[in-house]
């Protein structure tokens, strides 16, 4: 800890404790910034001490940002200085509102060494090492640091974070991938005409709809580890909106030449398809999304003459209208995404002609609206079943945004051009 910080802390803690308490929400004191982002008292404060080793500043910034974006922790920042050595002065950290202290360093062997201290218990809670793949600051190196952030969040809150995830989305006629913190955005080569990307639960593959210049649409499964892409030809010209089952062994998609039905195929086995829906008539059945045990799926259907969200068993039986709540005169609900914890189905619903993001609770069928500013579409749950990725025009053009459904906090994930059709990856625990 720097001398400057130590002096400041001493003066703050020893001489003016009441002033600290009064100024916690707003004070920015040179050397120490104490900030409770919002909802004080519900999020444990975590202070990340200066990090030791190469690229220390990047590591510290990433850890702090990840914990902040996780929305379960209040990050207490302190500027600069040297990494602390020896036993931590827990009472000082306690006085700053820190329930935990993260002491991290990049080791000579190239690992991120993370020690999480329990300030109240004056003890070490957890020690973990995360190998950092070369090159430093590269995509895989950054993913490893994000894993460190998720480890801290799990130790401190009991809930695993979502920092080590990515989003795939459509941008300028191709599919792109971006890290959960908005960095490392890059095009996925060979995905021209790509629409509606969906992740395989392993994070190794994506499936998407390839729209050719002729209008023909083909489901493609792309292997990020360099294996060949697999294309699923059907006898229909329209093949769209793919989704993997949670075990990764089934790929559902919509297909048809008039109305569309939902089919399944083995993504890595036989190409024979199984039809789950049958109209009725020229009905559009599309946009399937599996529940977490893979036994049910939600989908969009026009069988009532307009789009609504339905659920059915994974063999096509027990089809049932899900969005039965009255939403006013705008009869249009679509693009369901079943939360990984199985409790909610998010969808988009037209309100006064403009789409907004909503979710229906499957226990009591209560509906919660999450957005109101701009046009908000294509919800995709994070692996924590708490954050939602969606497209929004609130900044002027369509961009990807992240919403914390608990607090209502939003942040913009993409900024260039237009971005849409985002899909949140599973946790990328082992890289890709």
Q: Applying CB under 8 A, which residues contact other proteins?
A: 195-196, 209, 211, 214-217, 237-238, 240-241, 254, 256-260, 282, 284, 286-287, 300, 302, 306-307, 332, 334-335, 348, 353, 355, 377-378, 420-421
357 C-beta neighbours (distance < 10 Å), count:
26
Q: Toward other proteins, which CB reaches closer, 157 or 284?
A: 284
Please name the residues in contact with 424: beta carbons below 8 A apart, sequence gap of 6 or more: 162, 165, 167, 199, 380, 381, 382, 383, 387, 389
CB 338 within 8 A of CB 297: yes
247 conformational bin, left if phi > 0, alpha if psi -120 to 50, beta if neither: alpha
Q: Toward other proteins, which CB reaches closer, 197 or 203?
A: 197
Measured from the CB of residue 300, what is the shortest distance to other proteins in angstroms? 6
CA separation for the pair 112, 146 (Å, rounded): 10
Q: Toward other proteins, which CB reaches closer, 222 or 420?
A: 420
Q: Toward other proteins, which CB reaches closer, 157 or 300?
A: 300
- Residue 301: in which H helix or E strand, if any? strand 296-301
Q: Toward other proteins, which CB reaches closer, 149 or 284?
A: 284
Cis peptide before 385 (omega within 30 of 0): no
Measured from the CB of residue 361, what is the shortest distance to other proteins in angstroms? 22
Please name the residues in contact with 20: beta carbons below 8 A apart, sequence gap of 6 or more: 12, 13, 27, 34, 95
Q: 165: closest CA among 430, 432, 425, 431?
A: 425
Measured from the CB of residue 396, what is the shortest distance to other proteins in angstroms? 13
DSSP character at residue 6: H
Measured from the CB of residue 313, what is the shortest distance to other proteins in angstroms? 22
Measured from the CB of residue 222, what is the shortest distance to other proteins in angstroms? 19
- HEC secondary structure over 43-64: CCEEEECCCECCCHHHHHHHHH
Query: What burial letters (b/e) apply to 48-76, b meaning 16+ CB within 10 Å?
Result: bbbbbbebeebbbebbbbbbbbbbbbbbb
Q: Toward other proteins, which CB reaches closer, 102 or 211?
A: 211
What is the full DSSP assignment across 116-184? EEETTTTEEEEEEEEE-PSSTTSHHHHHHHHHHHHHHHHHHHSS--S-S-EEEEEETTEEEEEETTS--
Measured from the CB of residue 259, what is the shortest distance to other proteins in angstroms? 6
CA separation for the pair 284, 286 (Å, rounded): 6
Measured from the CB of residue 234, what is the shortest distance to other proteins in angstroms? 13
- Residue 21: in which H helix or E strand, if any? helix 17-23
Q: Dihedrals φ, ψ of 198, to 5°?
A: -145, 140
Q: Toward other proteins, which CB reaches closer, 47 or 367?
A: 367
Which residues, listed in sequence order, are joined to residue 100 by a DSSP beta bridge? 46, 118
Per the listing, tokens 């945004």 go with 401
Measured from the CB of residue 256, what is the shortest distance to other proteins in angstroms? 6
Measured from the CB of residue 253, what is the shortest distance to other proteins in angstroms? 11
Q: Toward other proteins, which CB reaches closer, 83 or 279?
A: 279
Q: Toward other proteins, which CB reaches closer, 154 or 375?
A: 375
Helix, strand, coil fractions of the chain, as percent rounded to 5: 15, 40, 45
Q: Toward other proteins, which CB reaches closer, 37 or 393?
A: 393
Measured from the CB of residue 227, what is the shortest distance to other proteins in angstroms? 27
């Amino acid at each position: 800890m720097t001398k400057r910080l130590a002096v400041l802390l001493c003066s703050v803690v020893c001489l003016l404790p009441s002033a600290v308490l009064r100024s916690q929400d707003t004070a920015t004191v040179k050397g120490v910034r104490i900030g409770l982002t919002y909802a004080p008292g519900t999020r444990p404060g975590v202070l990340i001490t200066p990090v030791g080793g190469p690229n220390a500043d990047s590591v510290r910034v990433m850890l702090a940002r990840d914990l902040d974006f996780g929305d379960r922790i209040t990050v207490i920042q302190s500027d600069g200085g040297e990494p602390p050595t020896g036993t931590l002065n827990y009472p000082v950290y306690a006085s700053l509102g820190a329930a935990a202290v993260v002491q991290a360093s990049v080791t000579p062997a190239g690992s991120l060494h993370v020690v999480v201290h329990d300030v109240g218990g004056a003890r070490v809670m957890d020690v973990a090492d995360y190998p950092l793949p070369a090159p430093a600051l590269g995509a895989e190196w950054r993913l490893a640091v994000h894993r460190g952030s998720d480890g801290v969040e799990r130790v401190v809150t009991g809930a695993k974070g979502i920092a080590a995830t990515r989003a795939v989305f459509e941008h300028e006629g191709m599919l792109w991938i971006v890290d959960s913190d908005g960095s490392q955005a890059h095009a996925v080569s060979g995905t021209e005409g790509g629409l509606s990307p969906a992740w395989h639960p392993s994070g190794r593959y994506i499936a998407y709809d390839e729209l050719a210049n002729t209008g023909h649409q083909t489901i493609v499964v792309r292997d990020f580890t360099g294996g060949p892409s697999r294309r699923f030809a059907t006898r229909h010209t329209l093949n769209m909106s793919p989704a993997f089952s949670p075990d990764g062994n089934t790929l559902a998609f919509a297909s048809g030449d008039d109305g569309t039905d939902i089919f399944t195929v083995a993504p890595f086995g036989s190409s024979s398809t199984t039809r789950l829906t049958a109209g009725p008539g020229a009905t559009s059945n599309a946009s399937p999304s599996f529940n977490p045990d893979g036994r049910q799926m939600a989908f969009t259907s026009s069988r009532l003459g307009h789009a609504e969200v339905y659920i059915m068993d994974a063999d096509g039986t027990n089809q049932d209208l899900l969005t039965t709540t009255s939403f006013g005169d705008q009869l249009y609900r679509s693009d369901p995404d079943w939360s990984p914890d199985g409790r909610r189905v998010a969808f988009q619903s037209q309100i006064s002609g403009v789409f907004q993001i909503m979710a229906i609770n499957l226990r009591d069928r209560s509906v919660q609206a999450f957005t109101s500013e701009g046009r908000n579409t294509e919800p995709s749950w994070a692996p924590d079943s708490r954050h939602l990725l969606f497209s929004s025009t609130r900044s002027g053009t369509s961009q990807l945004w992240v919403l914390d459904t608990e607090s209502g906090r939003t942040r913009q994930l993409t900024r260039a051009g237009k971005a849409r059709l985002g899909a949140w990856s599973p946790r990328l625990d082992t890289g890709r």
